[in-house]
Amino acid sequence: MSSAYLDGQPATADDLRALALANYGHFTSMQVRGRAVRGLDLHLHRLKSGTRELFDTTLDDARIRAAILAALDGEGVDDASVRVTVYSRAFDHAHPERPQPVDVLVSSTPPREADPKPAWVKTCPFQRALPLVKHVGTFPLFQHRRQARRDGFDDALFVDARGRISEGSLWNIGFWDGQQVVWPQAEALRGTQERLLQAGLAEVGVAQRHLPVEARALAGLKAAFAANATGIWPISGIDETALRPDPALMERLAAALAAHRWQPLASA
Protein backbone atom coordinates (compact mmCIF):
# COMPACT_ATOMS: atom_id res chain seq x y z
CA MET A 1 0.00 0.00 0.00
CA SER A 2 1.06 3.61 -0.47
CA SER A 3 0.32 6.70 1.56
CA ALA A 4 0.69 10.43 0.97
CA TYR A 5 1.16 13.29 3.42
CA LEU A 6 1.29 16.98 2.62
CA ASP A 7 3.58 18.82 5.03
CA GLY A 8 2.80 16.29 7.72
CA GLN A 9 -0.97 15.95 7.20
CA PRO A 10 -2.76 13.22 5.22
CA ALA A 11 -3.08 14.49 1.65
CA THR A 12 -6.57 15.00 0.25
CA ALA A 13 -7.81 14.63 -3.30
CA ASP A 14 -7.80 18.42 -3.64
CA ASP A 15 -4.18 18.53 -2.50
CA LEU A 16 -3.17 16.08 -5.21
CA ARG A 17 -5.33 17.58 -7.95
CA ALA A 18 -3.05 20.60 -8.40
CA LEU A 19 -0.06 18.34 -9.00
CA ALA A 20 -1.95 16.06 -11.36
CA LEU A 21 -3.36 18.90 -13.45
CA ALA A 22 -0.29 21.13 -13.67
CA ASN A 23 2.27 18.28 -13.67
CA TYR A 24 4.88 20.82 -12.57
CA GLY A 25 7.29 20.06 -9.78
CA HIS A 26 10.30 17.96 -8.85
CA PHE A 27 11.09 15.08 -6.53
CA THR A 28 13.62 12.70 -5.07
CA SER A 29 13.24 9.04 -4.12
CA MET A 30 15.06 7.42 -1.23
CA GLN A 31 15.20 4.30 0.86
CA VAL A 32 14.64 4.80 4.59
CA ARG A 33 15.96 2.26 7.09
CA GLY A 34 15.61 2.83 10.83
CA ARG A 35 14.54 6.42 10.03
CA ALA A 36 17.88 7.08 8.37
CA VAL A 37 18.84 7.60 4.72
CA ARG A 38 22.10 6.86 2.97
CA GLY A 39 23.04 10.05 1.13
CA LEU A 40 20.42 12.17 2.89
CA ASP A 41 22.53 15.29 2.34
CA LEU A 42 22.44 14.67 -1.42
CA HIS A 43 18.67 14.28 -1.41
CA LEU A 44 18.24 17.49 0.59
CA HIS A 45 20.51 19.38 -1.79
CA ARG A 46 18.56 18.06 -4.80
CA LEU A 47 15.25 19.23 -3.33
CA LYS A 48 16.52 22.66 -2.40
CA SER A 49 18.23 23.33 -5.72
CA GLY A 50 15.22 22.07 -7.68
CA THR A 51 12.95 24.38 -5.71
CA ARG A 52 15.11 27.37 -6.55
CA GLU A 53 15.17 26.41 -10.21
CA LEU A 54 11.43 25.77 -10.68
CA PHE A 55 9.81 28.12 -8.17
CA ASP A 56 12.33 30.88 -7.39
CA THR A 57 11.91 30.23 -3.70
CA THR A 58 13.77 28.49 -0.89
CA LEU A 59 13.15 25.26 0.97
CA ASP A 60 14.99 24.44 4.15
CA ASP A 61 16.29 21.13 5.47
CA ALA A 62 14.19 21.24 8.63
CA ARG A 63 10.92 21.38 6.71
CA ILE A 64 11.88 18.45 4.48
CA ARG A 65 13.03 16.32 7.41
CA ALA A 66 9.89 17.12 9.40
CA ALA A 67 7.64 16.23 6.46
CA ILE A 68 9.30 12.84 6.00
CA LEU A 69 9.25 12.04 9.71
CA ALA A 70 5.58 13.02 9.98
CA ALA A 71 4.73 10.67 7.11
CA LEU A 72 6.61 7.83 8.80
CA ASP A 73 4.84 8.63 12.09
CA GLY A 74 1.48 8.63 10.31
CA GLU A 75 2.10 5.13 8.99
CA GLY A 76 3.85 3.89 12.12
CA VAL A 77 6.93 2.67 10.24
CA ASP A 78 10.68 3.14 10.44
CA ASP A 79 11.56 1.55 7.08
CA ALA A 80 10.05 2.62 3.77
CA SER A 81 10.54 3.65 0.17
CA VAL A 82 9.94 7.39 0.25
CA ARG A 83 9.33 9.90 -2.51
CA VAL A 84 9.40 13.60 -1.67
CA THR A 85 7.68 15.76 -4.27
CA VAL A 86 7.86 19.55 -4.23
CA TYR A 87 5.09 21.39 -6.08
CA SER A 88 2.80 24.37 -5.55
CA ARG A 89 -0.94 24.33 -5.13
CA ALA A 90 -0.75 28.05 -5.93
CA PHE A 91 1.00 27.49 -9.26
CA ASP A 92 -0.54 29.58 -12.04
CA HIS A 93 0.22 28.20 -15.48
CA ALA A 94 -0.72 31.58 -16.99
CA HIS A 95 2.07 33.23 -14.98
CA PRO A 96 4.71 30.55 -14.36
CA GLU A 97 7.41 33.21 -13.96
CA ARG A 98 6.03 34.33 -10.60
CA PRO A 99 7.74 32.98 -7.47
CA GLN A 100 5.41 30.56 -5.72
CA PRO A 101 5.14 29.10 -2.22
CA VAL A 102 5.77 25.38 -2.36
CA ASP A 103 4.18 22.30 -0.85
CA VAL A 104 6.05 19.20 0.28
CA LEU A 105 4.30 15.93 -0.51
CA VAL A 106 5.73 12.74 0.99
CA SER A 107 4.53 9.39 -0.32
CA SER A 108 5.69 6.07 1.03
CA THR A 109 5.51 2.40 0.11
CA PRO A 110 7.15 -0.68 1.64
CA PRO A 111 10.97 -0.70 1.49
CA ARG A 112 12.58 -1.95 -1.71
CA GLU A 113 15.90 -3.44 -2.71
CA ALA A 114 17.23 -3.65 -6.26
CA ASP A 115 16.73 -6.98 -8.01
CA PRO A 116 20.26 -8.44 -8.38
CA LYS A 117 19.27 -10.23 -11.58
CA PRO A 118 21.36 -9.03 -14.55
CA ALA A 119 19.42 -6.84 -16.99
CA TRP A 120 19.67 -6.76 -20.79
CA VAL A 121 18.75 -3.31 -22.06
CA LYS A 122 17.80 -1.67 -25.33
CA THR A 123 19.12 1.71 -26.44
CA CYS A 124 16.82 4.43 -27.67
CA PRO A 125 17.45 8.05 -28.63
CA PHE A 126 16.25 10.37 -25.90
CA GLN A 127 17.50 13.47 -24.11
CA ARG A 128 15.93 14.35 -20.77
CA ALA A 129 14.64 17.93 -20.56
CA LEU A 130 16.43 20.01 -17.91
CA PRO A 131 18.58 17.10 -16.72
CA LEU A 132 19.87 19.03 -13.71
CA VAL A 133 16.41 18.72 -12.11
CA LYS A 134 14.63 15.47 -11.23
CA HIS A 135 11.30 16.85 -12.39
CA VAL A 136 7.91 15.16 -12.57
CA GLY A 137 7.89 14.99 -16.40
CA THR A 138 8.37 11.21 -16.40
CA PHE A 139 6.12 10.23 -19.32
CA PRO A 140 8.94 9.54 -21.83
CA LEU A 141 10.91 7.54 -19.26
CA PHE A 142 8.11 5.08 -18.71
CA GLN A 143 7.08 4.99 -22.35
CA HIS A 144 10.59 4.08 -23.52
CA ARG A 145 10.86 1.50 -20.74
CA ARG A 146 7.49 0.06 -21.74
CA GLN A 147 8.53 -0.21 -25.38
CA ALA A 148 11.84 -1.85 -24.51
CA ARG A 149 10.07 -4.46 -22.40
CA ARG A 150 7.55 -5.09 -25.18
CA ASP A 151 10.52 -5.71 -27.46
CA GLY A 152 11.85 -8.40 -25.12
CA PHE A 153 14.42 -6.35 -23.17
CA ASP A 154 14.49 -5.61 -19.46
CA ASP A 155 14.72 -1.83 -19.69
CA ALA A 156 15.63 1.18 -21.82
CA LEU A 157 19.04 2.84 -22.04
CA PHE A 158 19.17 6.35 -23.47
CA VAL A 159 21.63 7.69 -26.04
CA ASP A 160 21.99 11.29 -27.16
CA ALA A 161 21.99 12.68 -30.70
CA ARG A 162 25.66 11.72 -31.06
CA GLY A 163 25.03 8.12 -30.04
CA ARG A 164 26.61 8.54 -26.61
CA ILE A 165 25.14 6.60 -23.70
CA SER A 166 23.70 8.89 -21.03
CA GLU A 167 21.47 7.07 -18.51
CA GLY A 168 18.81 4.43 -18.07
CA SER A 169 15.09 5.00 -17.68
CA LEU A 170 15.22 5.21 -13.87
CA TRP A 171 18.88 4.60 -13.19
CA ASN A 172 22.45 5.59 -13.97
CA ILE A 173 24.96 3.32 -15.67
CA GLY A 174 28.67 2.72 -15.23
CA PHE A 175 31.21 0.48 -16.98
CA TRP A 176 34.31 -1.50 -16.04
CA ASP A 177 37.26 -1.85 -18.43
CA GLY A 178 39.23 -4.19 -16.19
CA GLN A 179 41.25 -1.40 -14.61
CA GLN A 180 38.85 1.42 -13.83
CA VAL A 181 35.20 2.41 -13.63
CA VAL A 182 34.11 4.45 -16.65
CA TRP A 183 31.20 6.84 -16.20
CA PRO A 184 29.56 7.83 -19.50
CA GLN A 185 30.13 11.45 -20.40
CA ALA A 186 26.81 12.87 -21.63
CA GLU A 187 24.02 15.04 -20.27
CA ALA A 188 21.95 13.08 -17.75
CA LEU A 189 20.32 13.31 -14.37
CA ARG A 190 23.12 12.56 -11.93
CA GLY A 191 21.70 10.24 -9.30
CA THR A 192 22.41 10.22 -5.59
CA GLN A 193 23.51 6.59 -5.73
CA GLU A 194 25.93 7.39 -8.55
CA ARG A 195 27.48 10.15 -6.45
CA LEU A 196 27.77 7.87 -3.43
CA LEU A 197 29.48 5.24 -5.56
CA GLN A 198 31.93 7.75 -6.98
CA ALA A 199 32.87 9.00 -3.51
CA GLY A 200 33.11 5.49 -2.09
CA LEU A 201 35.23 4.17 -4.95
CA ALA A 202 37.58 7.12 -4.56
CA GLU A 203 37.98 6.34 -0.85
CA VAL A 204 38.98 2.72 -1.52
CA GLY A 205 41.35 3.70 -4.34
CA VAL A 206 39.44 2.40 -7.38
CA ALA A 207 40.31 4.43 -10.49
CA GLN A 208 37.46 6.24 -12.25
CA ARG A 209 37.14 8.33 -15.41
CA HIS A 210 34.38 10.17 -17.24
CA LEU A 211 34.54 9.34 -20.94
CA PRO A 212 32.15 9.38 -23.91
CA VAL A 213 30.76 5.86 -24.38
CA GLU A 214 29.04 5.00 -27.64
CA ALA A 215 26.54 2.15 -27.62
CA ARG A 216 27.94 0.89 -30.94
CA ALA A 217 31.55 0.93 -29.72
CA LEU A 218 31.71 -1.02 -26.46
CA ALA A 219 34.93 -2.86 -27.24
CA GLY A 220 37.27 -2.76 -24.29
CA LEU A 221 34.46 -2.47 -21.75
CA LYS A 222 34.21 -5.76 -19.90
CA ALA A 223 31.19 -5.21 -17.65
CA ALA A 224 28.47 -2.72 -16.81
CA PHE A 225 26.20 -1.98 -13.88
CA ALA A 226 23.13 0.09 -13.05
CA ALA A 227 22.45 2.11 -9.91
CA ASN A 228 19.58 3.98 -8.35
CA ALA A 229 18.22 4.58 -4.85
CA THR A 230 17.18 0.93 -4.50
CA GLY A 231 20.73 -0.36 -5.04
CA ILE A 232 22.96 -1.73 -7.79
CA TRP A 233 22.61 -4.53 -10.33
CA PRO A 234 24.64 -5.86 -13.28
CA ILE A 235 23.93 -5.16 -16.94
CA SER A 236 24.27 -8.34 -18.99
CA GLY A 237 23.82 -6.84 -22.45
CA ILE A 238 23.15 -3.71 -24.49
CA ASP A 239 21.23 -4.20 -27.73
CA GLU A 240 23.03 -7.11 -29.45
CA THR A 241 26.21 -6.87 -27.36
CA ALA A 242 26.57 -9.28 -24.46
CA LEU A 243 28.43 -8.17 -21.34
CA ARG A 244 29.62 -10.65 -18.75
CA PRO A 245 28.52 -9.72 -15.20
CA ASP A 246 31.55 -9.34 -12.93
CA PRO A 247 30.88 -10.53 -9.35
CA ALA A 248 34.13 -9.00 -8.12
CA LEU A 249 33.11 -5.62 -9.51
CA MET A 250 29.71 -5.85 -7.86
CA GLU A 251 31.40 -6.64 -4.55
CA ARG A 252 33.60 -3.55 -4.93
CA LEU A 253 30.59 -1.40 -5.68
CA ALA A 254 28.69 -2.78 -2.69
CA ALA A 255 31.70 -2.04 -0.47
CA ALA A 256 31.87 1.51 -1.85
CA LEU A 257 28.24 2.07 -0.87
CA ALA A 258 28.69 0.45 2.52
CA ALA A 259 31.41 2.99 3.30
CA HIS A 260 28.71 5.65 3.62
CA ARG A 261 26.83 5.80 6.89
CA TRP A 262 23.06 6.09 7.07
CA GLN A 263 22.19 9.66 8.09
CA PRO A 264 19.35 10.08 10.62
CA LEU A 265 16.30 12.04 9.48
CA ALA A 266 15.92 13.52 12.95
CA SER A 267 18.30 16.43 13.45
CA ALA A 268 20.89 15.95 16.17
pLDDT of residue 267: 81
Rg (CA), the chain: 19
One-letter identity of residue 150: R
Number of domains comprising the chain = 2
Is residue 264 included in any domain, yes or no? no
**Whether 166 and 232 share a structural domain:** yes
pLDDT of residue 46: 98
**Whether 206 and 135 share a structural domain:** yes
How long, in residues, is the chain?
268
In whole angstroms, give the CA distance from residue 74 to residue 4: 10
Is residue 73 included in any domain, yes or no? yes
Segment-wise mean pLDDT, segments of 10 residues, the chain, 268 residues: 90 92 96 98 98 96 98 97 97 91 97 97 96 96 98 98 97 97 97 97 94 93 97 98 96 95 91
Task: Give the domain-ending residue among 56, 88, 109.
Answer: 109
Report DSSP letters for 205-256, one per residue.
Answer: T--EEEE--BTT--TT--EEEEEETTEEEEEEEETTEE----HHHHHHHHHH
**Whether 29 and 127 share a structural domain:** no
Q: What is the pTM of this model?
A: 0.96
> Which domain CATH number covers 10?
3.30.470.10
Q: Which domain holds residue 224?
A: 119-258
**Whether 99 and 123 share a structural domain:** no
Residue 13, classified by CB atoms within 10 Å of its CB into exposed (0-12), middle (13-18) or buried (19+), is: exposed
Residues 6 or more apart in contact with residue 110 via CB below 8 angstroms? 1, 80, 81
